[in-house]
Amino acid sequence: MKLIKDYLMADLTSLGVGGPADLLCKPESIPEIQAALKYAREHNLPVTIIGYGSNLLVTDKGIRGLVIQLAENFAKAAVSGTKIRAAAGCLFSSLSKLACHHSLTGLEFAVGIPGSLGGAIYMNAGAYGGEIGPLIEEITWVTEDKTGVWSKADFNYSYRHSRVQTDKVIVVEAVIQLKPGNKKEILEKMKELQAKRHELQPLDQPSAGSTFKRPPGLYVGPMIEGANLKGYKIGGAQVSPKHAGFIVNTGGATAQDVLDLIAHIQKTIKDMYDVDLQPELRIVGEK
């Protein structure tokens, strides 16, 4: 098991902010994950699991203890009939393309969602009316001394929430159940969704996707825009002038800039609409 010291988390996150992790480990197998967890317990180190860091805001002080990354080091996938069995580090968007290649429909919505399958399952990621939850047939998870399998019925998911968040397990693999489809139509749908993203989202700037969860029945972007905060900047962090639901790093932003901007938006929206916005991105690291 290789441990890398003082790894700068800004380099592992799409937002490009965050201080160092004390130790980073990129296991390639379940025994290696469990060895890393054992090592952390024996050395009294807190553990943080990450995928591709596309939904993370890491603080400037960085992450104490051990960061375990399941990404390209853990990324095998195979198609069998209408099912895809994939390791947690597979890119979610690549699985969408794999499904299309095999004329399987259901994962078109995932084509523009960055990050890993594990991160998508943790977050119950979704877009344009689709989400991963309903497609899950089976999830394999590990802890230091156990490996378990959840069936579809065990995987309690809701909007941007899943059982992985409460049970604190590490997702290592999942089976995604799709339906036979028409390759041309699948491809058309994927192209349409990608075009929408490029038109509406600031994909040319570092971000962590939507900053806040959508409150029931409300849209965050228009509320922030209505509060005159579109383009509002603190340090290098800015409410995207293209989509007010995103915070972008205009270059040189610190995590504190982003945290201050989040707090400012929350306060403004509370004062103006009496709505409590909850971050969708995950804030991790030493405060």
Q: Which residues are catalytic?
A: 160, 210, 280
| Of 14, 12, 9, 10, nearest in space to 248 by CA | 14
Minimum CB separation of residue 272 from ligand FAD in Å reads 26
Nearer to ligand FAD, 158 or 228 (CB): 158
Q: How far apart are CA 69 and CA 29, in angstroms?
A: 12
Of 106 and 118, which has the nearer Cβ to ligand FAD? 118
- The binding site for ligand FAD (CB under 6 A) comprises 14, 49-56, 70, 88, 92, 113-116, 118-120, 122-123, 125-127, 164, 170-171, 201, 203, 207-209, 282
Question: CA 115, CA 55: separation in Å to the nearest integer?
Answer: 8
> What are the DSSP calls for 82-107, one per residue?
TEEEEETTSBHHHHHHHHHHTTEES-
Q: Nearest distance from residue 138's CB to ligand FAD, in Å?
A: 15
> 123 or 255, CB closer to ligand FAD?
123
Task: Find the shortest distance in angstroms from Cβ 177 to ligand FAD.
Answer: 19
Residue pair 18/55 in contact by the 8 Å Cβ criterion: no
Q: Select 154 or 183, whichever has its Cβ closest to ligand FAD.
A: 154
Which residues touch 202 (CB under 8 Å, ≥6 apart)?
240, 241, 242, 243, 246, 248
Residue 99 beta carbon to ligand FAD: minimum distance, rounded to whole angstroms: 16
